[in-house]
């Protein structure tokens, strides 16, 4: 049943181990569950942030293009510009200056005036383009197809990314196209990055294997890593994926941009490590909380197990003392407790007291009655009622005791009586008889009850003989002057009696009742009669019962009080 590779020597150790394991298991489970939920939440939140960032990015790009469109439209309606255009045939220099002025006014990167036939009329930055076909025809075509004759979008021009718009120059009907471009460079990327809270990188996917980075919020070192980690041509990452940039994980979303005259993708990224900082903090707090909880549990478990095991140890100590026979009361705080241990301690105390009481009673029984009876009494279940048994009753009483009692002081008398009874009792004990009771100076002994005795009659007869001798010696010792101060008479009869506990449930004696007892007492009283001239009278029943032969003298038949028939009696000779 021991599943552990080691054993605990103490109950306290086992208790502590059990509870601590339980607490640790509980804490670990809780921690793992919370940790997992936390991680999952973090992952989801990061992905949500990225998607939200992507939406913000699209909206911002769209809005920026709207803004540029608006500005370009305002420019197209500028009367001064129309005037310059009206006279441009005579004065191309003025026209170019006007265009540069307007380009700078709205902070555009380039401005091109395109004829309705899509020839470059004026390029604000490169006059060598003048007269050549415009290099962004898709934009013009889109504008031509549009109701308001306007178009806007992202374009790749000379390897750079621009937000471009085309509006017509109306004088008041379309006379030319105005194309304005706003370069998307690192600072525009940074602006987007701040607004979306993302790292934004634009990447041209040109004919080369890897293409080139157009603009980015990333520092230079990271850009190289991004270029190296960039997926193969044409691939995008429409779902958030993880990308390592210099051992730092970035959650990355790569989306194609709708760009005219080139293929461009945008990478929206978030530093996973930074993103996870608050979650890491939460994890640290959780760990700290778990450790603190475990420490507190250790303290609590040690204290509780101590409070449980200490009284148990004390009780065990008490039990050992009781085992060794020390019933002295050991008051402890345990019995003051209100819990089960208190009950146990109180019960134990009561038990100890009970044991002490019983020992005392048994002692007393042993002193006042036969140890055999005492043993029989204590070993049996205590019930009233008895059984029929053949018993030999020996009744012994002092004769003519009154004169002696008048001669002696009470204490002297008691001393004499005690010496006498002690001597007689010892003889009864020695022959296996039991003292049923003392009645004043009389003594009643049983043979065959409560313990079965095969030679009960012989034992009783031998006892009586020895008692006679013992009394003579006692007289010589107590009264050396010579006169036999103490004389007794003994009656012995064997018959069926009721043996058992007699009394009330709280107070009872083991005794025998019946004719047998009365006959023994009657025989004893017959010794007082001078006609029989003997101190020991035995019934014929006893002699017949005896396995040994004793020297006796028949005394004839004697009437027994309350009995119709006569009993044959004999004197026991020396």
Partner 1 sequence: MAPHRSFSSLLVALCLWCCCSSSAIAAEIAVTVRDSRGAPVRDAVIYALPVTGKAPPARRQKVEVQQRDQQFLPYVSVVQTGSAVLFPNNDDVKHHVYSFSPAKKFELPLYAGTPAEPIVFDKPGVVTLGCNIHDWMIAYVLVVPTPWFAVTGADGAAQLRNLPAGAYDIEAWQPRLRNQAQPPRQRVNLPAQSSTAFQLDLKPEVRLRRSPTDSGDGYR
DSSP per residue over 39-88, as a string?
HHHHHHHHHHHHHHHHHHHHHHHHHHHHHHHHHHHHHHT-HHHHHHHHTT
Minimum CB separation of residue 175 from partner 1 in Å reads: 7
CB of 111 to partner 1, least distance (A): 19
State the nearest-atom distance from the C-beta of 79 to partner 1, in Å.
Answer: 5
CB closer to partner 1, 95 vs 467: 95
Which residue number, 172 or 562, has a Cβ lying nearer to partner 1?
A: 172
> Is 331 exposed, middle or buried (CB count within 10 Å of its CB: 0-12, 13-18, 19+)?
exposed
Tokens of 40: 């999952």
Distances (CA, A) of 8 to 3, 4, 13: 12, 9, 6
CB of 84: closest distance to partner 1 in angstroms? Answer: 10
The answer for residues whose C-beta is within 8 angstroms of residue 41's C-beta and 6 or more apart is 279
Q: Hey, is 387 helix, strand or coil?
A: strand
| Spatial contact of 505 and 513, defined as CB atoms under 8 Å apart | no
Residue 172 CB, shortest distance to partner 1, in Å, is: 3
Can you tell me whether residue 266 is helix, strand or coil? Answer: strand
Q: Shortest distance, CB of residue 148 to partner 1, whole angstroms?
A: 9
How far apart are CB 232 and partner 1 at their closest, in Å? 45
Cis peptide before 450 (omega within 30 of 0): yes
How far apart (Å, rounded) are the C-alpha atoms in residues 447 and 458? 10
Of residues 149 and 313, the one with the C-beta less far from partner 1: 149
Interface contacts to partner 1, rule CB under 8 A: 77, 79, 82-83, 85-86, 147, 149, 170-173, 175
Element (H, E) at 163: strand 160-170
Cα-based distances in Å from 281 to 47, 228, 275, 285, 324: 20, 32, 11, 6, 63
Cβ atoms 427, 413 nearer than 8 A: no
- Minimum distance between the CB of residue 173 and partner 1, rounded to whole angstroms? 6
Measured from the CB atom, the residue of 84 and 264 that comes closer to partner 1 is 84
Which residue lies nearer to partner 1 by CB, 121 or 520? Answer: 121
Shortest distance (Å) from residue 93 CB to partner 1:
19
Residues 572 and 491: their CA atoms lie apart, in Å, by 10
For residue 400, count other CB atoms closer than 10 A to its CB.
Answer: 13
User: What's the closest the beta carbon of residue 89 comes to partner 1, in angstroms?
Assistant: 8
Q: Which is nearer to partner 1, 80 or 246 (CB)?
A: 80
Cβ distance to partner 1 smaller for residue 85 or 532: 85
Task: Name which of 106 and 170 has its Cβ closer to partner 1.
Answer: 170
Cis before 172 (ω within 30): yes
**Burial status of residue 551 (CB atoms within 10 A of its CB: 0-12, 13-18, 19 or more):** exposed
Closest alpha carbon to 202 in 190, 215, 192, 218 = 215
Which of residues 6 and 79 has its CB atom nearest to partner 1 in the complex?
A: 79
Residue 83 or 529: the one with the smaller Cβ distance to partner 1 is: 83
**Bridge partners, 399 (sequence order):** 487
Distance CA 120, CA 131 (A): 5
Output the smallest distance, CB 102 to partner 1, in A. 17
Using the minimum distance from each CB to partner 1, give the nearer residue, 102 or 510. 102
Is residue 184 within 8 A of residue 214, CB to CB? The reply is: yes
């Amino acid at each position: 049943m021991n599943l552990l590779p080691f054993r605990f020597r103490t109950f306290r150790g086992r208790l502590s181990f059990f509870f601590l394991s339980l607490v640790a298991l509980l804490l670990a489970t809780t921690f793992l569950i919370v940790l997992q939920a936390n991680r999952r939440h973090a992952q989801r939140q990061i992905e949500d942030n990225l998607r939200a960032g992507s939406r913000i990015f699209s909206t911002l790009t769209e809005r920026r293009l709207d803004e540029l469109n608006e500005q370009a439209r305002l420019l197209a309606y500028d009367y001064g510009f129309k005037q310059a255009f009206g006279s441009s045939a005579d004065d191309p220099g003025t026209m170019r200056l006007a265009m540069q002025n307007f380009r700078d006014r709205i902070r555009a990167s380039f401005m091109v005036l395109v004829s309705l036939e899509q020839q470059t009329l004026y390029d604000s930055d490169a006059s060598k383009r003048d007269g050549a076909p415009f290099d962004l025809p898709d934009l013009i075509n889109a504008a031509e197809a549009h109701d308001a004759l306007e178009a806007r979008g992202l374009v790749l021009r000379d390897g750079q990314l621009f937000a471009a718009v085309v509006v017509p120059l109306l004088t008041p009907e379309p006379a030319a196209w105005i194309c304005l471009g706003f370069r998307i460079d690192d600072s525009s990327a940074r602006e987007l990055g701040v607004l979306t809270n993302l790292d934004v990188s634009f990447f041209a996917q040109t004919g080369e294997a890897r293409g080139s980075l157009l603009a980015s919020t990333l520092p230079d070192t990271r850009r190289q890593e991004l270029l190296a980690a960039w997926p193969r041509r044409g691939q995008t990452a429409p779902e958030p994926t993880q990308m390592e940039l210099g051992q730092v994980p970035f959650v990355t979303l790569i989306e194609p941009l709708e760009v005219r005259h080139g293929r461009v993708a945008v990478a929206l990224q978030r530093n996973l490590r930074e993103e996870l900082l608050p979650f890491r903090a939460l994890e640290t707090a959780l760990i700290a909380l778990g450790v603190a909880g475990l420490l507190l549990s250790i303290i609590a478990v040690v204290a509780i197990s101590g409070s449980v095991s200490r009284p148990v140890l004390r009780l065990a100590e008490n039990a050992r003392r009781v085992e060794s026979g020390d019933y002295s009361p050991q008051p402890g705080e345990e019995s003051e407790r209100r819990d089960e241990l208190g009950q146990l301690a109180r019960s134990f105390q009561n038990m100890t007291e009970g044991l002490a009481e019983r020992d005392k009673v048994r002692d007393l029984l042993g002193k006042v009655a036969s140890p055999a009876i005492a043993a029989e009494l204590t070993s049996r279940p205590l019930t009233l009622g008895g059984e029929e048994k053949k018993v030999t009753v020996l009744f012994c009483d002092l004769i003519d005791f009154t004169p002696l009692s008048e001669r002696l002081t009470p204490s002297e008398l008691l001393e004499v009586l005690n010496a006498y009874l002690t001597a007689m009792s010892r003889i009864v004990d020695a022959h296996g008889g039991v003292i049923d009771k003392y009645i004043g100076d009389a003594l009643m002994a049983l043979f065959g009850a409560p313990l079965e005795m095969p030679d009960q009659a012989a034992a009783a007869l031998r006892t009586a003989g020895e008692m006679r001798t013992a009394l003579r010696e006692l007289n010589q010792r107590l009264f050396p002057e010579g006169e036999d101060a103490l004389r007794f008479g003994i009656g012995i009869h064997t018959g069926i009696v009721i043996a058992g506990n007699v009394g009330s449930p709280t107070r009872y004696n083991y005794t025998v009742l019946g004719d047998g007892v009365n006959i023994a007492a009657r025989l004893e009283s017959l010794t007082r009669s001078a006609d029989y001239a003997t101190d020991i009278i035995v019934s014929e029943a006893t002699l017949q019962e005896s396995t040994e032969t004793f020297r006796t003298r028949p005394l004839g038949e004697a009437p027994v009080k309350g009995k119709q028939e006569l009993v044959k009696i004999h004197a026991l000779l020396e």
